[in-house]
Amino acid sequence: MARKKSYIFEILEVLAIVLIIRVLIFEPFYIPSGSMNATLLEGDYVFATKYDYGYSNFSIPFSPNIISGRWPNWKPERGDIVIFRPPHHMDIRYIKRLIGLPGDRIQMVGGVLHINGKMVHTTYIGKHKLGEDGKIREYNEYQEKLPNGKTYNILLDPTSWRRNTKVFEVPPGHYFFLGDNRDNSLDSRYTLGYVPEENLIAKAKIIYFSSKSSLFPKVDNQGNYDYNPLYILTRFIPWVLSLSPSRIFRIVYI
């Protein structure tokens, strides 16, 4: 009996450690769409750290609303890739790049990002091909350099008409997010709007796994999957062949 109790306590200790790590340190996240191409691809799995921005009710699973605001209230930096709760759809998580800080004025002019009336430096990289809906599409790839010196690559669809926006004035306590795949991202220019600081969950750091296909068929646009065992069995070999080992352990924070 004593040995059995000891075994149970050991299991509970392990579960407690895992829970603490999951709640306070790491947040795993699956990339469900191509809105962050060319940085994060659909099928990437990333680890994000939760301590960078402090903690809120949205960063702690099943929180009973015991935290007001963020504690400690550490501020994100422009250019961070952030996991957060979208204010218009609080039961899911988004991942986008933080572009606008509180008080900033953000605008797209001819497809070029402007921050506080100044054009962000952009360098043409070349053509970038992506497989979408069974077809190969060609994008223009650019490197953006933010005012704080952070650089990253973005994609622009040469056939897109979405090149100009109004001026977005980021309110206090909120942030403005864009996807790196600029013409294929529902971000702060559209339904997402400005994101309250308490909605921030974690900062993306590293890709720990990547696959071009899934073992599980997606059944809706909210990231829900069908776990039918027969389907999983038939998908196993194609899934193994679609693994992307070159992307594993790739650093994504800047």
Starting at the edge strand found earlier in the chain, the sheet holding 151-156 runs 121-132, 135-145, 151-156
Question: What distance in Å separates the CA atoms of residue 76 and residue 98, rounded to the nearest whole number?
Answer: 8
- C-alpha Rg value of the chain to the nearest Å: 20
Q: Is the pLDDT of residue 224 over 60?
A: no
Q: Which band of pLDDT confidence, cut at 50, 70 and 90, is reported for residue 1?
A: low
C-alpha 204/C-alpha 50 separation (Å) is 9
35 is catalytic: yes
Which of 106-115, 162-171, 190-199, 230-239 is predicted least confidently? 230-239
Residue 203 annotated to the active site: no
For the ranges 7-21, 103-117, 129-143, which has the lowest average pLDDT? 7-21
Catalytic residue among 33, 35, 188, 211: 35
Q: What is the pLDDT of residue 39?
A: 95
What is this structure's pTM? 0.86
Residue 72: is the preceding peptide bond cis (ω within 30°)?
A: yes
Mean pLDDT of the chain: 87
Question: Out of 33, 50, 59, 96, which one is annotated catalytic?
Answer: 96
Which strands, in side-by-side order, build the sheet including 168-169?
Answer: 118-119, 112-115, 105-109, 168-169
Residue 48 phi, psi (nearest 5): -125, 145
Residue 245 has pLDDT above 80, yes or no: yes
Rounded-to-integer distance, Cα 132 and Cα 128, Å = 13
Q: What is the mean pLDDT of residues 85-111?
A: 95
Q: Which of 112, 58, 67 is nearest to 89 (CA)?
A: 58
Residue with the bigger pLDDT between 101 and 27: it is 101
Is 168 in a helix, a strand, or coil?
Answer: strand
Residue ranges of domains in the chain: 2-251
Structure-model confidence comparison of residues 201 and 14, the more confident one: 201
pLDDT of residue 226: 59
Percent of the chain topping pLDDT 90: 56
Domain 2-251 falls under CATH 2.10.109.10: yes
